[in-house]
Amino acid sequence: MAVKPMNLQVDIHLKRGDFNFKAAFETSSERCGIFGPSGSGKSTLMLMLAGLLTPDKGRIVLHNEILFDSEEQINLKPQKRRTGVVFQHGYLFPHMSVRRNLLYGWKRIAPILRKEEPGKIIEVLELEHLLDRKVTALSGGEQQRVALGRTVLSCPQLILMDEPLTGLDSQLKKQIICYLLKLFEECGIPFLFISHSVEEMSLMAEEVLVFRRGTLRQTLREKEFSRKNGSSLKVDLKKAEPVKDLP
Ligand SMILES: Nc1ncnc2c1ncn2[C@@H]1O[C@H](COP(=O)(O)OP(=O)(O)OP(=O)(O)O)[C@@H](O)[C@H]1O
């Protein structure tokens, strides 16, 4: 399926204690990485995009819809933004089965907005055999696959991921990256993700926003980013195999 570029315009400022955040950028990329050292403001940006933290001033526009505008006093609630968020630890509902977790968002959106078929997502993520398990009885990688599936099934216009691979070992990381790229190919939903890892940027991003001390310093195409940071890993999306190791 053709991916709809994210068409995101951001110009925001926020002061949190001693920390000053400011970023102004536009992106029409399909896979955008947010890179920078600890404390540089990556999660702060993601929380503001998701509507979980309010900027002091500025504007956020996604696909020509204003999500936030301080002058016009617009601040759409998280559930109205059509952004799906995947956090580092998945944050699944522990008392529910895999199936109920997966269908949670899907059941709550209007049928006309349900673009994804649960059966297809379950197949891509290879979750069939786990559907009746409680999520507390899953491995870390399986939990992250359920979190990805649940987010995709809520049919967002943009997926936001805050270090979705942290805590997984390197083999599992590569496996989840392949699942992620397959999902992206199947569903055509653009994503924005945070990582400290040059390798993850190289494998997953098309464009990289580089932050330092709360400020957007550079916007680089993946090739240029990888050249500057010494990584040149490649994944052919069409050939991505979930269970095989990557070069
Ligand atoms: N509630 C708060 N009040 C004041 N400062 C805060 C608050 N929350 C976060 N900060 C500061 O904001 C800065 C940016 O934090 P943020 O979590 O966005 O960084 P990050 O780049 O995502 O870091 P990491 O990679 O370690 O997750 C940090 O210096 C942090 O201490």
Reply yes or no on whether the pLDDT at 242 is more than 60: no
Sign of CA dihedral 131, 191, 120, 106: positive
Pocket test of ligand 1: the residue of 12, 35, 42, 45 to mutate, having most ligand atoms within 8 Å of its CB, is 42
Q: What is the pLDDT confidence band of residue 241, given thresholds at 50, 70 and 90?
A: low
Q: What does the domain layout of the chain look like in residue ranges?
A: 8-239
Question: Mean pLDDT across the chain, nearest whole number?
Answer: 88
Q: If you take atom 18 of ligand 1, which residue's CA is the nearest one?
A: 41
The correct CATH number of 8-239 out of 3.40.50.300, 1.20.140.10, 3.40.30.10, 3.50.50.60 is 3.40.50.300
- Between the CA of 56 and the centroid of ligand 1 the distance, in Å, is 16
Cβ atoms of 207 and 31 within 8 Å: the answer is: yes
Claim: this prediction has a pTM higher than 0.90: no
Asked whether residue 4 carries a pLDDT value surpassing 50, the answer given is yes
- Ligand 1 centroid vs 2 CA: distance in angstroms? 35
The pLDDT of residue 164 is 84
Name the more confident of 109 and 32: 32
* Of the candidates 203, 245, 79, 84, the residue with the CA atom closest to the CA atom of residue 153: 84
Express each pLDDT in 108-129 by its tens digit: 888 888 888 899 899 888 899 9
Of all protein residues, whose CA lies closest to atom 3 belonging to ligand 1?
Answer: 16
Per the CB < 8 A criterion, the answer to whether 146 and 91 are in contact is no
Q: Ligand 1 atom closest to Cα of 41? A: 18
